Amino acid sequence: MGTVVDAANKEASGIVTDKKPTVVFVLGGPGSGKGTQCANIVQHFGYTHLSAGDLLRAEIKSGSENGTMIQNMIKEGKIVPSEVTIKLLQQAIQESANDKFLIDGFPRNEENRAAFENVTKIEPAFVLFFDCSEEEMERRLLSRDQGREDDNIETIRKRFKVFLESSLPVIEYYNSKGKVRKIDAGRPVEEVFESVQAIFSPKNEKAD
């Protein structure tokens, strides 16, 4: 299989303007604390945090033709095509002066994952998976005061179901390649970050 990867890498250097970024996918259910830990990783390890949702929202706000199309799809309850999200991620990677990226909340499903690797020719260095019980995520979401209208019990449970059905196959795929770093995200923020640091600090790479 090495030859396929080598070919993909050669091709990638042409596409991504000679940039060979380090990409870490960050996955976890709603309320697993991904956002907080991504902010810590950015601060301590110099990564650039790319949120697929934020990029889509920014594109909508820009009023571009692409943004209008995305907005209409979301309004109609349709899923934005993988290619659209991937193009925005790819653009953000190419325009950044950095070469280390956390991609948060993407890929959401197997189709996203396959399309991302296919289009960008980038394979993630690893997947950071924040594993948290549904009870704990539910408790966190209901207690946060951010006034998000999707933080009610029915919607929360629906979001859990979508996460389990869509994202777990992605985690299983990368797990089979030895690329998943699972973190017990049900603990206090500081303890979770200690585990995160152990993964990102090269000298502690073996510590878990």
Bind-site residues for a ribonucleoside 5'-phosphate? 57, 78-80, 105-108, 148, 159
> Taking Cα atoms as reference points, which of 14, 197, 19, 18 lies closest to residue 98?
19
Bind-site residues? 31-36, 57, 78-80, 105-108, 112, 144, 148, 159, 187
Q: Count other Cβ atoms within 10 Å, centred on residue 122.
A: 24
| Distance of alpha carbon 132 from alpha carbon 189, whole angstroms | 12
CATH code of the domain occupying 23-50+101-200: 3.40.50.300
Residue in the block written with tokens 């889509």: 56
pLDDT in tens, 75-109: 887 878 899 999 999 999 999 999 999 999 899 89
pLDDT in tens, 56-67: 999 999 999 999
| Distance of alpha carbon 101 from alpha carbon 200, whole angstroms | 13
pLDDT in tens, 105-160: 899 899 999 999 999 999 999 999 999 998 898 888 888 755 555 557 777 788 88
- Tell me the CA distances in angstroms from 102 to 92, 106, 119, one per residue in order: 12, 10, 18
Bind-site residues for ATP? 31-36, 144, 187
Top pLDDT among 46 and 142 is at: 46
Listed in sequence order, the residues at least 6 apart from 115 whose beta carbon sits closer than 8 Å to its beta carbon are 82, 83, 86
Q: Where are the domains of the chain?
A: 23-50+101-200
Listed in sequence order, the residues at least 6 apart from 112 whose beta carbon sits closer than 8 Å to its beta carbon are 82, 85, 86, 106, 170
